[in-house]
Structure 1
């Protein structure tokens, strides 16, 4: 069995474990709200507010980093073409309709960890809250049934690496 098959088997087992422990109504509602908090338009609004508050260098980091993060994210999505759980598993339906066809990596998780890292550099006292939120975004994507666990893990890594790079370039 190849390493990719082993990873997929682990992902499927972990995914089903998560689904078996989920209180559907409550977690689905909460998951939708948390996932919505990581939608793209809210980042634009947040960047505008930061610009208005005088954090121009942070907005520069966010702009550069998001360009890089989105480029890498789309390249991975289009090259890996990993099916989402609903397409890969028999008799499974997600709790939300995903915005695109493929699962790997999780863009919501990547963006959330990117923002959490960047904001924690400027606002270290909010570090715990930011990373709890970013982790919740990743978990919400699993519990909503649109990503496997490794999709969110690699998304978190991608967002973090892009943040480190963007901060290093701008500052």
Structure 2
């Protein structure tokens, strides 16, 4: 198992380096940083309040489902990060992160987990906007790689975890 994880980590680092070499022009573009910031917690609360206030019954269920999802997601991703303690790319590779990470460990990406959790729940309540929600969540994840704070595997794990938690939250509240 340990050998398998070491191999996976090595490929993840190689993939990160490949992405990093091609992302120099993106790193200085403000919109990449803004996209990453939309994955911060306060944006979810703002969007939930805006969408939740548009229609009483679906809006209330939407906000309740988000609350259930995030009440599971936050402690779970913190627990996983503290258990695995995977260093961030700028801590182990000779790169400089463009932004400051919120915490010390990288796996899984909390921003990506939260973005896919939100996108999954929002897609269930506002299905016409599913392409927008999923494109945005993917963009948040990719921005974290481009800014040098996550490996691609962190993003993939965050997307899977967030999507799974969205499914669980929807089942709990329905």
Aligned equivalents of 1:166 and 1:27: distance in 2? 37
Q: Which moved more, 1:43-52 or 1:134-143?
A: 43-52
Alignment of 1:73 with 2:74, yes or no, is no
Q: Does the CA-based 8 Å contact 1:94-1:145 persist in structure 2?
A: yes
CA RMSD of aligned residues (A): 1.4
Map of 1:153 onto structure 2: 156
Alignment of 1:62 with 2:66, yes or no, is yes
**Tell me, what secondary structure is at the counterpart of 1:94?**
coil
* Structure 1 residues 5 and 28: alpha-carbon distance in aligned structure 2, compared to 1, 3 A threshold: farther
Map of 1:13 onto structure 2: 14
* Structure 1 residues 169 and 5: alpha-carbon distance in aligned structure 2, compared to 1, 3 A threshold: same
Please list every run of 5 or more consecutive structure 1 residues that lacks an aligned counterpart in the other structure: none
- What's the TM-score, normalizing by structure 2? 0.93
Post-superposition shift, 1:19?
A: 1.0
Aligned equivalents of 1:25 and 1:114: distance in 2? 26
Residues 80-115 of structure 1: CA deviation (Å, up to 9, x unaligned): 1100001111x2110101111000110000010011
- What's the TM-score, normalizing by structure 1? 0.94
Summarize the alignment of residues 70-109 of structure 1 with structure 2, pairs less than 5 Å apart: 70-89=74-93, 91-109=94-112
Please list every run of 5 or more consecutive structure 2 residues that lacks an aligned counterpart in the other structure: none
Give the aligned length: 170
Aligned equivalents of 2:133 and 2:92: distance in 1? 32
**Tell me, what secondary structure is at the counterpart of 1:2?**
helix
